[in-house]
């Protein structure tokens, strides 16, 4: 679940069924390799929350495509991202998922030592090796920036325009960037984080998130809160359309009970509405009046994907220790329902019956656009724009 | 163990040793793929016992070659078999090994709903999708029939003649189909079922079943009951020859104690004899006076095979709760001994010493015929007769 | 750790950094296959200690390249080595790592029986198979010899000269074979054996053993005992140079406490020195005054290597039950530190950042020679010198 498709562009008249990608797209390791190269390692990738890196030397390691990337902050608090690979003989600099270094990153094998800007600042016998340049042999940096409180990296030599890719997805859905700015997401804090291991191809998870045709079948709690999702169409009748809460619903919670107020500054138009946005290739955002749910996928192989989901609230909700479990529980249950559906779909992808794929019904037509996008990006005829390292 | 080879056709005079298949035939995943395509997915495959499907809506899911197949019965009790794949976006219809549906098969993802004949009878918003034909988009059926109380399926577009394949194996062994009809196997009930996971290529299991050269070495209990197996030849001196029980043996039991009588209508010629029949590619049948032992293999990969073995008795033996353990134990032990031998053989298949295979002794010459049969069916020159789905 | 590189041949003046092998050399299964074929299955391979085979019929099974090899002794006590594959239909003769047979090796499948020289001495119905030659169909032997108390095998049709390969490594390091003979290694007994499973490519383990640039970083106990290792150079200033014990060090023990005397006959020059020798492709030897540490690697795949390490003492140290734990603990800890470093390096080998490899500093230049040696042996242009079986 759960974007609201744009019904205005649904094809009318002629054949209502649209073919999907062929099954091999979901099970062939060579296809996954190409997707890593052309998509995850070549676009902007949402890697962590800013608060995962509270200060200089705090670090986190994440998998971006096929690469282990080390995120940290410089002495001046600026975000930094590096390949997690020592320039000497390749040992992993940090094995832990997260931690904090006091002064530097020291490779635990031969003690090559890098500052938080990646410069090589010490190595045994370094003075006897005059041709080792401290920048050339520093940790290899990747592009990094912050947006909406999240840390985004790009492994491309020349990253794509952030505006034309990430921000454009928001504009397509909400009309303007202002309409997401009203939630002031960067000011929010993580109230809960849940990590899911999903035994399915990442594209099945995107497809699931993009349509609500399944909502009536597998999301009883969600359709209780958002009755229009129960009709299986959940059309986005116009840009910036949000799904309205049911009449008796007081908040976006597992039982429709009162939420945690309304985010400060939120315009009234949105104070009983739900929005879902897919930011390709690996971010899903849900906006509700009192919190934001932010998913990041980390695809590990053609059949395994990690999903990290944050529930974001105002800092005083989090620091005051108010009980957020009724709102967490609603989308946690939606996640479990969705990922179970994806895992049930993955095994058929190798069936001869799915050799040419399945079909999309009209209310899923925007999945066809996603398939066209993936196909265009991974087209083997296209010149390779990859960086060598 | 344990067919009795036909010694009358054993080659005489010249070289007594016959080469086997090369080791690669047992370890190469590409060979296994080809065997799935040309053998398991192209012939008749024994999938379940009729009693596994007691009535309309009762179902069982089985692996046939590389496909998950859903077996059930129609409203009128007729056998039905389908690919276990939703025609919409491919989710598995049933994840369980077996179960029962009251009214229909409903895909748990988007609620596409099929009747027990596979027709698409409901889907959210179906009325708005006029081009969805309820048969075209029904569950894709595969051929199914019953024989000897078992459910056989074929995934071929045009299945081979049942008479020329399955029945022909019985005729070659017993002379006529009448000679197996005397056991009235379809009337028997399952007294015990044991499932084995064997870490070996399916062909090693067939080869093991086809010869008795190993009986004296690994089957002490069996050779006690059938003394002629101890000479390591166990020749089928003529068509319809059966192995005679030992003089002091009262029944086909672990200790030679009394069995459970004689199957009604069995001709006298067989009332102290044992017969073993291999029905290629995946069924082994043992006939003894008071019960029948029926094995089915489900090859899962080039090095993993599931074997499901049923011990069949007259319905009143089963319903009366008579103790069948002495007869079950005998062949259960034989199975364990055989599968251990197969698992011990599998690892050498990748040795350079086995690059050109091993040798068959004269009493194993019919394994050479099995090898020739496999080679002919999987010959890469042969035009592909496969169905597209 | 821990050979002492020959600084006299270190390149001077120009660029001090030397490229390593590319990352693919450590992760590509096809590269590993080629290394098995051209290195482990084509050279002399140290397979076991002589005492693992105390007498006729005692056996051990080991993995040499991709093959399971059965080591034993003949009736007259001579070493024998065979492919662990029955010549009939390929079953493993022995599944256990070690054991003892009273009279013969009998295949547990069809009872083909071989004497300790490998000759086929019995098989059911053998007399009826006149064309089975007892030598032709005996266990297939591989070359075997003893050196330094260890059992070495070669699977090559014509093994390389032992003198030009194994012994030449000792001569290059110590100047003469006499200088290792002074330790009389063949007379020593195993006081302790520890087996390590290392999730790293075998070449990372060799490289680690060949340099001491990492000693100061990961081996605090070792550098305490051998202070010159702490400078990260640990140069072999001349042939037969050994690393001197620290002033207050009494023995090669975890705490520098007294060892177990001095090996009888050891020349005085060596009585406070440590030597490390790499015998390509899979043996590392450490010589200290009172014991010898002997490592053998068994590479199982491109990312998994078993290392078996023996601590060797004089027979009366072992039989008297004297406490050897202080000396075992020192190198056991070094092993753990080294293997952890190797396991931390393996994952980066598939990073795009390591596509062209890393760099060697001057004190690691001999690793470059190892890389050149591996490359030359596995060069795909070179004619294949492999035996067919």
- Residue A386 confidence (pLDDT): 44
Q: Does residue A281 have a cis bond before it (omega within 30 degrees)?
A: yes
- Is any Cβ of chain C less than 8 angstroms from the Cβ of A127? no
Which residue has 């045709």 as its token pair? Answer: A213
A13 interface with C at CB cutoff 8 Å: no
Number of other CB atoms surrounding residue C163 within 10 Å: 10
The answer to whether C101 faces chain B, any CB pair under 8 Å, is: no
DSSP state of B253: S
Alpha-carbon span A165 to A3, nearest angstrom: 18
B150 in Cβ contact with B89 (< 8 Å): no
**Average confidence (pLDDT) over C214-223:** 96
Nearest to A214 among B84, B110, B132 (CB): B110
Q: Is the model's pLDDT at B208 over the cut of 50?
A: yes
Contacts of A81 (CB under 8 A, 6+ apart): A47, A69, A70, A71, A72, A141, A142, A143, A144, A151, A153
Mean pLDDT within C48-62: 98
Q: What are the residues facing A307 on neighbouring strands?
A: A196, A297
Q: At what angle do helices B365-378 and B202-210 cross, to 10 degrees?
A: 150
Tell me which chain B residue has its CA closest to the CA of residue C66: B351
User: Which residue of C85, C130, C388 is in closest CB contact with B348?
Assistant: C85
pLDDT at C174 over 80: yes
Q: Which of B382, B385, B389 is nearest to B158 (CA)?
A: B385
Average model confidence (pLDDT) across chain C:
92
pLDDT band at C132 (very low <50, low <70, confident <90, very high): confident
Q: Measure C365 CA to nearest chain B CA, in Å.
A: 37
* Residues in chain C closer than 8 A to B355 (CB atoms): 388-389
Per-residue pLDDT for chain A (389 aa), expressed as one digit of tens each? 444 444 333 444 446 899 999 999 999 999 999 999 999 999 999 999 999 999 999 999 999 999 999 999 999 999 999 999 999 999 999 999 999 999 999 999 999 999 999 999 999 988 888 878 888 999 999 999 999 999 999 999 999 999 999 999 999 999 999 999 999 999 999 999 999 999 999 999 999 999 999 999 999 999 999 999 988 665 555 678 899 999 999 999 999 999 999 999 898 889 999 999 999 999 999 999 999 999 999 999 999 999 999 999 999 999 999 999 999 999 999 999 999 999 999 999 999 999 999 999 998 999 999 999 999 999 866 555 444 33
CA dist., res. B11 & res. B7, Å (int): 9
CA of C353: which chain A residue's CA is closest? A389
Angstroms from C284 CA to nearest CA on chain A: 20
Q: Does residue A63 sit at the B interface (CB-CB below 8 Å)? A: no
* Contact of A22 with A357, CB cutoff 8 Å: yes
Tell me the average pLDDT across B165-171. Answer: 97
The packing angle between helices A325-345 and A202-210, to 10°, is 120
Give me the phi and psi of C27, to 5 degrees please: -130, -10
Q: Residue by residue, what is the 3-state secondary structure of chain A?
A: CCCCCEHHHCCCCCCCCEECCCHHHHCCHHHHHHHHHHHHCCCCEEEEEHHHCCCCCEEEEEEECCEEEEEEECCCCCEEEEECECCCCCCECCCCCEEECCCCEECCCCCCEECCCCCEEECCCHHHCCCCCCCCCCCCECEEEEECCEEEEECCCCCCCCHHHHHHHHHHHHCCCHHHHCCCHHHCEEEEEEEEEECCCHHHHHHHHHCCCCHHHHCHHHHHHCHHHHHCCCCECCCCCCEECCCCCCCCCCCCCCCCCCCCCCCHHHCCEEEEEEECCCEEEEEECCEEEEEEEEEEECCEEEEEEEEEECHHHHHCCCCCHHHHHHHHHHHHHHHHHHHHHHHHHHCHHHCCCCEECHHHHHHHHHHHHHHHHHCCCCCCCCCCC
Q: Is A124 in Cβ contact with C213 (below 8 Å)?
A: yes
B237 pLDDT higher than 60: no
Q: How far apart are CA A154 and CA A145, in angstroms?
A: 9
- Cα of first residue to Cα of last residue in chain B, in angstroms, is 36
Predicted local confidence at residue C336, as pLDDT: 98
In chain A, residues with a C-beta closer than 8 Å to the C-beta of B67 are: 351-353
User: What integer pLDDT is reported at residue C235 of this predicted model?
Assistant: 52
Q: Is B130 on the interface with A (CB under 8 A)?
A: yes
Nearest CA in chain A to B89: A358
Q: Is C13 on the interface with A (CB under 8 A)?
A: no
Half-sphere exposure of C143 (CA within 13 A, CB side): 16
The token pair at A139 is 């940790």
CB pair distance less than 8 Å for C358 and A109: no
Q: How far apart are CA A62 and CA C251, in angstroms?
A: 46
Please judge whether A359 and B90 are an interchain contact, meaning their C-beta atoms are less than 8 angstroms apart: no
User: Which residue is listed with tokens 């296994």?
Assistant: B32
pLDDT score recorded for residue A233? 64
Say if A356 is an interface residue toward chain B (CB within 8 Å). Answer: yes
Does A218 touch chain B if contact means CB atoms closer than 8 Å? yes
| Contact predicate B92/B83, CB 8 Å | no
Q: How far apart are CA A186 and CA A204, in angstroms?
A: 29
Among C145, C124, C280, C305, CA closest to C210: C280
Per the structure block, which two tokens stand in for A280? 């390709």
- Distance from C-alpha of A229 to C-alpha of B348, rounded to nearest angstrom: 58
Chain B residue with CA closest to C94: the answer is B344
Domains by residue range for chain A, with CATH: 18-41+177-378 (3.90.380.10), 45-154 (2.102.10.10)
Closest CA to B9 of B361, B362, B275, B280: B362
Smallest Cβ distance to C89: which of B216, B345, B363? B345
pLDDT value at residue A127 = 82
Say what the pLDDT of residue A286 is: 97
pLDDT in tens, C90-120: 999 999 999 999 999 999 999 999 999 999 9
- C231 chain-A contacts, CB cut-off 8 A: 125
- pLDDT of B338 reads 98
Most A CBs within 10 A among C214, C220, C233, C357, hence the mutation to make, goes to C214
pLDDT at C180 over 50: yes
B311's tokens: 């011990």
Q: How does pLDDT run across B18-65, given as a tens digit for each residue?
A: 999 999 999 999 999 999 999 999 999 999 999 999 999 999 999 999
Is residue A302 within 8 A of residue A193, CB to CB? The reply is: no
Across the interface, do A89 and C217 touch by the CB < 8 Å criterion?
no
- Say if A333 is an interface residue toward chain C (CB within 8 Å): no
- For residue B385, the model assigns a pLDDT of 46
Confidence of residue B382 (pLDDT cuts 50, 70, 90): low
**Dihedral of alpha carbons A288, A289, A291, A294, sign:** positive
Section B317-335 average pLDDT: 97
Distance CA C173, CA B162 (A): 74
Q: Which residues of B touch C81 (CB under 8 A)?
A: none
CB contact under 8 A, A352 and B129: no
C 29-58 → A contacts, CB under 8 A: none
CA-nearest residue of chain A to C347? Answer: A92
The answer to whether the Cβ–Cβ distance between B88 and A354 falls below 8 Å is: no
A202-210 and A365-378 helices, crossing angle to 10°:
150
Closest residue on chain C to A63 (Cα): C351
* Other beta carbons within 10 Å of C247: 6
* Residues comprising chain C, all counted: 389
SS (H, E, C) chain C: CCCCCEHHHCCCCCCCCEECCCHHHHCCHHHHHHHHHHHHCCCCEEEEEHHHCCCCCEEEEEEECCEEEEEEECCCCCEEEEECECCCCCCECCCCCEEECCCCEECCCCCCEECCCCCEEECCCHHHCCCCCCCCCCCCECEEEEECCEEEEECCCCCCCHHHHHHHHHHHHHCCCHHHHCCCHHHCEEEEEEEEEECCCHHHHHHHHHCCCCHHHHCHHHHHHCHHHHHCCCCECCCCCCEECCCCCCCCCCCCCCCCCCCCCCCHHHCCEEEEEEECCCEEEEEECCEEEEEEEEEEECCEEEEEEEEEECHHHHHCCCCCHHHHHHHHHHHHHHHHHHHHHHHHHHCHHHCCCCEECHHHHHHHHHHHHHHHHHCCCCCCCCCCC
Residues C29 and C302 sit within 8 Å (Cβ to Cβ): yes
CA-based max dimension of chain A: 77
Q: What's CA A266's distance to the chain center, in Å? A: 24
* B345 touching C (Cβ < 8 Å): yes
In the prediction, which pLDDT does B127 show?
82
Residue with tokens 């979901």, as numbered in its chain? A26
Quote the pLDDT of residue B135.
87
**Chain A residues near residue C16 by CB distance under 8 angstroms:** 128-132
Residue C197, pLDDT above cutoff 70:
yes
Chain C nearest-CA distance from B49, in A, is 32
CA nearest to C25, candidates C289, C242, C201: C201
Q: Which residue of chain B is at minimal alpha-carbon distance from A359?
A: B88
| CA–CA dist C196, C336 (Å, integer) | 8
Q: Is A347 on the interface with C (CB under 8 A)?
A: no
The contacts of residue B333 (CB under 8 Å, 6+ apart) are B221, B254
Query: Is there a contact between B99 and B63 (Cβ–Cβ < 8 Å)?
Result: no
User: Would you say B80 and B73 are in contact if contact means Cβ atoms under 8 Å apart?
Assistant: yes
Compare A39 and C237 and report the one with higher pLDDT: A39
Of B334, B250, B335, B239, the residue nearest B290 (C-alpha): B250
Interface of A with B in 278-317 (CB under 8 A): none
- Give chains near A: 3+ CB pairs under 8 A: B, C
State how far the Cα of A370 lies from the Cα of A79, in Å rounded to an integer.
31
A358 interface with B at CB cutoff 8 Å: yes
Nearest CA in chain A to C215: A110
Looking at residue A231, what is its pLDDT? Answer: 81
pLDDT at A175: 94
Contact C70, C59 (CB under 8 A): yes
A207 at the B interface (CB within 8 A)?
yes
Find the helix or strand (DSSP H, E) in which B374 lies.
Answer: helix B365-378
**Residue C236 pLDDT level (bands cut at 50, 70, 90):** low
Query: Reduced to 3 states, what is the DSSP secondary structure of residue B268?
Result: helix
């Amino acid at each position: 679940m759960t974007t609201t498709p744009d019904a205005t562009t649904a094809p009318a008249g002629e054949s209502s069924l649209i073919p999907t990608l062929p099954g091999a797209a979901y099970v062939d390791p060579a296809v996954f390799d190409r997707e890593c190269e052309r998509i995850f390692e070549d676009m902007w990738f949402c890697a962590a929350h800013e608060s995962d890196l509270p200060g200089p030397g705090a670090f986190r390691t994440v998998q971006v495509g096929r690469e282990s990337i080390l995120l940290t902050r410089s002495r001046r608090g600026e975000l930094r991202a590096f390949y997690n690979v020592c320039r000497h003989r390749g040992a992993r600099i940090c094995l832990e998922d997260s931690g904090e270094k006091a002064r530097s990153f020291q490779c635990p094998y031969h003690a090559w030592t890098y500052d938080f800007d990646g410069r090589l600042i010490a190595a045994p016998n370094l003075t006897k090796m005059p041709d080792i340049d401290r920048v050339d042999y520093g940790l290899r940096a990747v592009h990094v920036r912050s947006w909406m409180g999240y840390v985004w990296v790009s492994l491309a030599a020349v990253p794509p325009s952030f505006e034309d890719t990430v921000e454009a997805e928001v504009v397509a859905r909400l009309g303007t960037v202002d309409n997401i700015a009203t939630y002031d997401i960067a000011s929010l804090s993580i109230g809960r984080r849940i990590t899911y291991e999903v035994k399915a191809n990442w594209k099945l998870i995107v497809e699931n998130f993009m349509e609500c045709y399944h909502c009536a079948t597998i999301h009883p709690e969600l359709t209780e809160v958002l009755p229009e999702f129960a009709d299986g169409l959940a059309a986005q009748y116009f840009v910036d359309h949000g799904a309205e809460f049911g009449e008796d619903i007081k908040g976006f919670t597992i039982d429709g009970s009162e939420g945690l107020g309304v985010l400060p500054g939120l315009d009234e138009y949105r104070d009983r509405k739900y929005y879902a946005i897919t930011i390709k290739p690996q971010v899903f955002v849900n906006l509700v009046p009192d919190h934001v749910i932010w998913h990041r996928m980390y695809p590990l192989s053609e059949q395994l994907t990690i999903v990290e989901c944050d529930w974001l609230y105002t800092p005083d909700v989090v620091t005051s220790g108010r009980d957020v479990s009724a709102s967490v529980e609603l989308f946690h249950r939606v996640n479990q329902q969705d990922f179970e559906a994806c895992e049930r779909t993955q095994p058929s992808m190798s069936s001869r019956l799915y050799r040419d794929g399945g079909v999309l019904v009209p209310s899923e037509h925007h999945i066809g656009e996603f398939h066209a996008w993936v196909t265009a990006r991974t087209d083997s005829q296209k010149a390779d724009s990859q960086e060598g390292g």
